[in-house]
Amino acid sequence: MNVRQIESLHKALVESGFHHLEVTFGKIKLKLVRNPAISDVLTDSETSAADSGIGQSDPQTHPVTTMNVISERVGIFTFGKRAALEIGVTVKRGEILGTIKGISIQDHVTAPVSGTVTAIFVTEGEIVEFGRRLFILEKEKIEE
Amino acid sequence: MLKKIMIANRGEIAVRIIRTCRRLGIRTVAVFSEADRDAMHVRLADEAYCIGPARTDLSYLNIPNLLSVAQATRCDGIHPGYGFLSENPSFAEISQKCGFTFIGPSHRAIERMGQKSVARDIMARSGVPILPGSPGSLEDADEAIAVAKRIGFPVLIKASAGGGGRGMRLAENEATFKNLFLTARGEAQSAFGDGRVYIEKFLRSPRHIEIQVFGDTHGNAIALGERECSIQRRHQKLVEEAPSPALEESTRVKMIETAIKAVHAIEYVNAGTIEFLLDTDGSYYFMEMNTRLQVEHPVTELVWGIDMVELQLRIASGEPIPYTQASLKPHGWSIECRINAEDARTGFSPCPGRITQFIPAGGPWVRVDSAAFANYMVSPTYDSMIAKLIVWAPTRAEALGRMRVALGDFTIEGITTTIPFHSFIMNHPEFKKGQFSTLFVEQHLDEFLAMLPPIKNPSQKENSHTNGQAMEKVHAARAATSS
């Protein structure tokens, strides 16, 4: 693997808009991770650059006080006990917001922080895919 | 007939499968990774769902997410394509257990044929000629040396669970054997999680000939002749054709009979390929059986006039094969070039990047199977194959001519591709004469590299037409001086 190849991979990563790229050339394993907070970061090992934001907050598109709740599974979504989950309702950290039922797996979607539901993007019985944004929570001031 | 299927794959093969489904009125569900959001299979399918990040182990190999999509979308079948989970017996088994029809063979057949040494034993018992080799996998280096001496050097050390050349070593003599044996075992362990290896006789100048077979649930079996796949590099096929210019009709008949016998013996259902090595004296030996639709299936489709994906879907739906062997007759000649985003000058290293211009070849009897388009991003995470260019003509010479023109017409800009290398092959006098073995690329790569200009900017246009003409002149000049 030479510098030219690494450069072209880097270019590909930048152009693609992907966060993360891993390539194996024989014994060489190259991992390129884009840090959305800075610019493009080139790492060569298990360096953990910024979290991709999946399932957590995305500091780029929303202020730190709001958090996206994103599906990490694929399946049919149903609301939790609080079927009346509505905009403006406050939830506690760890509270079940809904369930994604996949094949043999039933995964709870829980509130990553205590706060107020400010947006709901999902409907009962909908098929949700990986990376689907489900809710936005506004963090309680007390948590900060 | 199946009503709605999920395609557990990406790229050209997903597109290929979707097209047949649309014609047959079968609804399709595509799956994609975050890297493939804009991919063509996502656009063409009736529905599409993201199943994970770009990394294949988290997306296209993610069995729970795949099956969750199939279940949530109420599919009744799953087509695995090739690669990824297509030859994973657990995936076939779990799919069936969850109530989906797996469009492929039974998990037992996949499992048995996937264990290369088991497959060889089964084939030997069914009367298929096999290369002399170790009776099963070998644990001990000294025992292996004894077997190698009995077979006679050179011998090939191969991973039992292997494929794609990994865990494979060529031992020329006894002195180097032990080290190579241990290296192969280590490589097999790290590549497949299974360090078992076996050895077999190595043929110096073999051809790779494979027979396409189909079996159904009613006990019928057919063989759609052979494909010639000797043009390969490190066990990766580059050019395939049907029929083979090397096969005598009597050998062909024998191979087809052998293949059909094998399908019956293992009660094989759906599409499969039995790969053989053909020696210079016309004897042939079983290499392995691929329990999936092959990349190179179009050349068989064009020569036999059969949509093989349709046949797969019908067989999976429980229909009998609608043909008898006697009713089938091949017509003409077909050639396929696999066009990869690779640079021959840097050892065929992948050249991912954005395709800025994509104008596929066309014209009568020219077929392009691809999922690429202008502005498509070739991801380094996946296979570097971006298109399959396939032509048909009544004779081999005409097919070659058609392929040369098609390669010249095919415009892919923004990335480096193997189009110029294919032009070189199509113009090579030995390839034209049909005189080549699996060593062709190794033997002639330097000739190709010597006639290329120094490494240019990859954003420059690939002008394969000009390259092709230049190569023809070089070949002609060389032929003149050597005669």
In this prediction, residue A141 carries a pLDDT of 61
DSSP B273-328: EEEEEE-TTS-EEEEEEE-S--TTHHHHHHHHT--HHHHHHHHHTTPPPS--GGG-
Ranges for all domains in chain A classified under CATH 2.40.50.100: 66-143
ipTM entry = 0.78
Determine the Cα angle at B60 with ends B59 and B63, to 5°: 85
* The one-letter amino acid at B445: L
> What six digits make up the tokens of B449?
């590299």
In this prediction, residue B476 carries a pLDDT of 52
Structural domains of chain B sorted by starting position, each given as residue range(s) with its CATH number in brackets: 4-103 (3.40.50.20), 132-201 (3.30.1490.20), 207-474 (3.30.470.20)
CB-neighbour burial class of residue A60 (10 A; exposed 0-12, middle 13-18, buried 19+)? exposed
Q: How far is B144 from chain A (nearest CA, A)?
A: 27
Strand B197-201 and strand B236-242: the pairing is unpaired
What single-letter DSSP state applies at residue B53?
Answer: -
Contact between A67 and A115 (Cβ < 8 Å): yes
Dist. CA B431–CA B208, nearest whole Å:
14
Contact between B315 and B77 (Cβ < 8 Å): no
> What six digits make up the tokens of A58?
């995305």
Q: How far is B372 from chain A (nearest CA, A)?
A: 15
Which of A18, A31, A71 to probe by mutation at the B interface, max B CB count within 10 Å?
A18
Strand B77-79 and strand B4-7: the pairing is parallel
- Give the Å distances, CA to CA, from B78 to A84, B1, B23, B50: 37, 13, 17, 16
Dist. CA B73–CA B67, nearest whole Å:
10
Mean pLDDT by 10 residues, chain A (144 residues): 68 61 68 46 32 44 75 92 79 92 89 93 95 92 50
Label residue B363 left, alpha or beta by phi (over 0 means left) and psi (-120 to 50 means alpha): left
Dist. CA B81–CA B6, nearest whole Å:
10
In A, minimum Cα distance to B49 occurs at A129
Contact between B106 and B46 (Cβ < 8 Å): no
B330-387 pLDDT per residue, tens: 999 999 999 999 999 999 999 999 999 999 999 999 999 999 999 999 999 999 999 9
Class of domain A66-143: mainly beta
Dist. CA B453–CA B216, nearest whole Å:
52
In this prediction, residue A132 carries a pLDDT of 96
In this prediction, residue B481 carries a pLDDT of 42
The total of other beta-carbon atoms located within 10 Å of residue A54's CB is 16
In this prediction, residue A49 carries a pLDDT of 33
Chain A residues contacting B via beta carbons under 8 Å: 1-2, 5, 8-9, 11-12, 15-16, 18, 20-23, 25, 52, 54, 73-76, 102-105, 127, 129-132
Dist. CA B147–CA B138, nearest whole Å:
9
In this prediction, residue B473 carries a pLDDT of 52
B291-338 pLDDT per residue, tens: 999 999 999 999 999 999 999 999 999 999 999 999 999 999 999 999
Active-site residues of B, by number, are: 292
CA-based diameter of chain A, in Å? 58
B353 contacts in chain A (CB < 8 Å): 8, 11-12, 15
Contact between B41 and B18 (Cβ < 8 Å): yes
Determine the Cα angle at B400 with ends B470 and B364, to 5°: 110
Q: How far is B98 from chain A (nearest CA, A)?
A: 8
- Give the Å distances, CA to CA, from B317 to B1, B29, B69, B311, B405: 5, 18, 21, 10, 40
Q: What is the mean pLDDT of chain B?
A: 92
Residues of chain B with pLDDT under 50: 460-468, 477-483
In A, minimum Cα distance to B415 occurs at A8
H or E stretch covering A83: none
| Cα-based torsion angle of the residue sequence B76, B319, B330, B389 in order, rounded to the nearest 10 degrees | 0
DSSP B74-125: T-SEEE--SSTTTT-HHHHHHHHHTTPEESSS-HHHHHHHHSHHHHHHHHHH
The total of other beta-carbon atoms located within 10 Å of residue B168's CB is 19
Determine the Cα angle at B319 with ends B314 and B321, to 5°: 80
